[in-house]
Structure 1
């Protein structure tokens, strides 16, 4: 009976691994050589897993590596595609391509969240989980197949599908930075004021006002001060757009 149960469990695990492998192949466009890198890329820290040497087994270090790989491949692409772009222009364009918003979009479009192993409530992941595991996925590709495969994947899934340089030139990735830059140039006094702080720790909300020259220009409300400030700045931008765009 024990042998029979072990066989069922072993076959079940093999079947799960096979499904995971097949789904990975469809996304990657090639066969992984070492699936353990991809398993790690989708393991959340809440599992508290350790590798054979006792180090944490989760996607966080792969996320760091994937971020570096994305940056290098995209930097090389921009350098070759925009020969007239100076360092400031190229840096700004790269930032737009690898913005958290864009990486989250890439992770969602590939439905990478389906592979996540976690003991945490998915409702508490936050929106950035999509971009985080996308970066970890890139890191796994690099460790599994090397730079050339990683570069090809980034070109196929990121650059060819999402990078439109003329459109990116007009894209705003941070209204807060844009408004602050304008205020500093025009020598205007500004500050963000938290006027509301409600909810329990897991579902806290912040209300923020952006005050310019002693006038409330925009308000925002979100689950973090940073997000609330960005919302307030976005509303302020549209209220002052004609003036800001003339800068």
Structure 2
């Protein structure tokens, strides 16, 4: 697989040269018009690659586009599939479908990380799998058209993994759920999050969740968001029967 990356980053590459692995093309389900879009979608910023004209080469622009296209396709699917539900329901379901956690799972199932020219000394975002999936969608849209992209999203994401009845019960954010519950019950909820160092000299965030001046739960994580989500999840299970 490394050979196709060597040819991609060569300044003397030919546009007609086939460089994408067959396994990747099988996932796409079609032969690309221009493989450069897909090779770009597999290039994280951390690799510090450049195009022959000196421009930075990474997937971020395609990820931005893919995020918008994916949101549009999912919105259309929900509008058609849930004709009796209001805008609030549709928004909530879309958020669950395109959540970072869910997209990371899809990217993991497709094994997209196997296709990047990985180097052990680079740091990749913990959301890299979801980013690669969105960039892939962006590349499909640019290379093909909206209908092909829509068919891909339905085949890869919606048809095998989306069941609206099951999705309604799925909790994406325990923090949002606890905040919504506290507002409904008119109770004051406070998340007190601080940084602390552990024995390995790594920064860890510790979050304490309080309700009405009563300590409820604590969570630790490598980001403020993660720590608060863990604290909220523990609080949720403590209050589960009351919610």
Per the alignment, in what secondary structure is the counterpart of residue 34 of structure 2?
Answer: coil
Q: Which residue in the other structure is 1:127 paired with?
A: 126
Structure 1 residue 170 and structure 2 residue 169: aligned? Answer: yes
Distance 2:184 2:121 in 1: 45
Structure 1 match to 2:219: 220
**Which residue in 2 is equivalent to 1:6?**
none
Question: Is residue 139 of structure 2 the alignment partner of residue 140 of structure 1?
Answer: yes
Q: Distance in 2 between matches of 1:45 and 1:56?
A: 8
Q: Which moved more, 1:52-61 or 1:185-194?
A: 52-61
Unaligned runs of 5+ in 1: 1-8
Equivalences for residues 24-35 of structure 1 within 5 A: 24-35=24-35
2:196 touches 2:203 (CA, 8 Å); kept in 1? yes
Structure with the larger helix share: 1
Matched with 2:57 is 57
Q: Specify the alignment match of 1:68 in structure 2.
A: 68
> What is the total number of aligned residue pairs between the two structures?
232
Deviation at 1:118, TM superposition (A): 5.1
TM-score (norm 2): 0.88
Write the mapping of 1:189-228 to structure 2, written as runs, cut at 5 A: 189-194=188-193, 197-199=196-198, 203-228=202-227
> 2:99 is matched with which residue?
99
Q: How much has 1:13 moved relative to structure 2? A: 4.1
Aligned counterparts of 2:49 and 2:132: Cα–Cα separation in 1: 17
Contact 1:141 1:149 in 2 (8 A): yes
> Per the alignment, do residues 28 and 182 of structure 1 end up closer, same or farther by CA in structure 2, a change over 3 Å counting?
same
- Give, in whole Å, the separation in 1 of the partners of 2:155 and 2:87: 25
Alignment correspondent of 1:3: none
Deviations 1:23-74 (A, max 9, x none): 2221111111110001100111123233355432100111110001111111
C-alpha deviation, 1:201, in angstroms: 10
Q: Could you say which residue in structure 1 is the equivalent of 2:230?
A: 231
- TM-score (norm. length: structure 1): 0.86
Paired residue secondary structure (1:183) = helix
Query: How much does 1:203 deviate?
Result: 3.8
Cα RMSD, aligned residues only = 2.3
TM-aligned CA deviation for residue 202 of structure 1: 8.7
1:193-217 CA deviation, whole Å, 9 max, x = no partner? Answer: 2355114999421121101111111
| SS of residue paired to 2:50 | coil
Report the more deviating stretch, 52-61 or 75-84. Answer: 52-61
Per-residue CA deviations over 1:163-214 (Å, capped at 9, x if unaligned) read 1000001111111001011112212122112355114999421121101111
Q: Where do 5+ consecutive residues of structure 2 fail to align?
A: 9-16
SS at match of 2:56: coil
Give me the whole-angstrom Cα distance separating, in 2, the residues matched to 1:200 and 1:53.
Answer: 46
Q: Which moved more, 1:43-52 or 1:183-192?
A: 43-52
Report what 1:160 is aligned to.
159
